[in-house]
Structure 1
Amino acid sequence: MRARLAGAAALCAALTVVTTPQAVAAPGAASAPHDVVTWAASADRLGEGTPGLAYRLVVRTSAGGSDLRVRLSNAFGDRPLTLDSVWAGIQRSGAALVPGSNRRLTFGGAGSVTVPAGATVLSDALPGRRPAGASLVVSLHSPDAAGPATGHGMAMQTSYTARGDHTAEEGAANWTGTTGSWFYLDAVTVRTTDRTGAVAALGDSITDGWQSTSGLDRRWPDYLARRLQRTGSDVRGVANAGISGNKVLADGAGQSAVNRLDRDVLSLPGVRTVFLFEGVNDLKAHTGVTAADLVAGYRQIVARAHAAGKCVVGATIAPFKGWSEWDSAAEAVRQEVNSFIRTGGEFDAVTDFDRILRSPYDAERMLPVFDGGDHLHPNDKGMQAMADAVDLTALACARRSER
Structure 2
Amino acid sequence: MRARDNHVGRGARRRRSSVVVAAVAAVCVPLTTATAVQARPSVPADPPAASVAAGGPATTRTDRHSVITWGASADRQGAGPADRSYRLVVRTSVGGSKPRIRLTNAFGEHPVTFASAYLGLQRQGAELVRGSNRRLTFGGQGSVVVPAGGTVYSDPLPGRLAAQVDLVVSLYVTGAQGPTTGHGMAMQTSYAASGDHAAQEEATGWTDRISSWYWLDAVTVETSVEVGAVALLGDSITDGWASTQDENRRWPDYLSRRLQAAQTGGVKGVANEGISGNKVLADGAGEAALRRLDRDVLSHPGVETVVLFEGINDLKAHSGVTADDLIAGYREIVERVHAAGKCVVGATVMPFKGWSEYDDAGEAVRQAVNDWIRRGGEFDAVVDFDRITRSPYDPQRMLPFFDGGDHLHPNDKGMQAMADAVDLAALECDR
Give the TM-score of the pair, scaled to structure 2. 0.87
Asked if the contact 1:17/1:122 (under 8 Å) is kept, the reply is no
Unmatched 5+ stretches in structure 2: 1-39, 48-60
Alignment partner for residue 19 of structure 1, among 34, 46, 55?
46
Asked if the contact 1:243/1:254 (under 8 Å) is kept, the reply is yes
3-state SS in 1 of match to 2:175: coil
- Give the ranges of 4+ consecutive aligned residues of structure 1 lying more than 2 Å apart after TM superposition: 17-20
Asked if the contact 1:31/1:195 (under 8 Å) is kept, the reply is no
* Residue equivalent to 1:151: 182
1:205-236 Cα shifts (integer Å, max 9, x gaps): 00000000000000000000000011133111
Asked if the contact 1:197/1:270 (under 8 Å) is kept, the reply is yes
Give the RMSD, CA atoms, in angstroms.
1.2
Alignment partner for residue 78 of structure 1, among 109, 114, 131?
109
Alignment partner for residue 319 of structure 1, among 344, 351, 357?
351
Asked if the contact 1:312/1:347 (under 8 Å) is kept, the reply is yes
Alignment partner for residue 55 of structure 1, among 67, 86, 89?
86
Cα distance in structure 1, aligned partners of 2:42 and 2:325: 29
Asked if the contact 1:43/1:186 (under 8 Å) is kept, the reply is yes
Alignment partner for residue 133 of structure 1, among 164, 177, 182?
164
Report the alpha carbon displacement of residue 19 of structure 1 after superposing the two structures with TM. 3.3
Report the alpha carbon displacement of residue 16 of structure 1 after superposing the two structures with TM. 1.1
* Residue equivalent to 1:32: 63
Cα distance in structure 2, aligned partners of 1:32 and 1:14: 29
Asked if the contact 1:235/1:396 (under 8 Å) is kept, the reply is yes
Asked if the contact 2:113/2:146 (under 8 Å) is kept, the reply is yes
Cα distance in structure 2, aligned partners of 1:286 and 1:146: 37
Cα distance in structure 2, aligned partners of 1:285 and 1:308: 33
Report the alpha carbon displacement of residue 285 of structure 1 after superposing the two structures with TM. 2.6
1:99-134 Cα shifts (integer Å, max 9, x gaps): 000000000000000111111100000010111001
Cα distance in structure 1, aligned partners of 2:363 and 2:86: 43
Report the alpha carbon displacement of residue 346 of structure 1 after superposing the two structures with TM. 0.4
3-state SS in 1 of match to 2:287: coil
1:142 is aligned to 2:161: no
1:124 is aligned to 2:155: yes
| Letter paired with 1:54 | S
3-state SS in 1 of match to 2:280: coil
Matches within 5 A, 1:157-306: 157-232=188-263, 233-306=265-338
| Letter paired with 1:196 | V
Aligned residues: 378
Report the alpha carbon displacement of residue 31 of structure 1 after superposing the two structures with TM. 7.0
* Residue equivalent to 2:11: none
3-state SS in 2 of match to 1:55: strand
Report the alpha carbon displacement of residue 287 of structure 1 after superposing the two structures with TM. 2.1
Asked if the contact 1:74/1:120 (under 8 Å) is kept, the reply is yes
1:243-292 Cα shifts (integer Å, max 9, x gaps): 00000000000000000000000000000000000000000032211000
3-state SS in 2 of match to 1:250: coil
Report the alpha carbon displacement of residue 295 of structure 1 after superposing the two structures with TM. 0.3
Asked if the contact 1:31/1:193 (under 8 Å) is kept, the reply is no
| Letter paired with 2:83 | G
* Residue equivalent to 1:398: 430
Asked if the contact 2:69/2:221 (under 8 Å) is kept, the reply is yes
Identical amino acids, percent of aligned pairs: 69
* Residue equivalent to 2:100: 69
Asked if the contact 2:354/2:406 (under 8 Å) is kept, the reply is yes
Asked if the contact 1:53/1:161 (under 8 Å) is kept, the reply is yes
Cα distance in structure 1, aligned partners of 2:174 and 2:140: 20
| Letter paired with 1:281 | N
Cα distance in structure 2, aligned partners of 1:286 and 1:35: 43
The structure whose residues are more often helix, as a share, is 1
Cα distance in structure 1, aligned partners of 2:149 and 2:316: 31
Cα distance in structure 1, aligned partners of 2:41 and 2:289: 17
* Residue equivalent to 1:7: none
Cα distance in structure 1, aligned partners of 2:268 and 2:177: 37
Asked if the contact 1:73/1:185 (under 8 Å) is kept, the reply is yes
* Residue equivalent to 2:21: none
Report the alpha carbon displacement of residue 14 of structure 1 after superposing the two structures with TM. 5.2
Cα distance in structure 2, aligned partners of 1:392 and 1:181: 30
Matches within 5 A, 1:87-98: 87-98=118-129
Cα distance in structure 1, aligned partners of 2:225 and 2:195: 41
Alignment partner for residue 41 of structure 1, among 72, 78, 93?
72
1:176-200 Cα shifts (integer Å, max 9, x gaps): 1110000000000000001000000
Cα distance in structure 2, aligned partners of 1:236 and 1:143: 36
Asked if the contact 2:107/2:179 (under 8 Å) is kept, the reply is yes
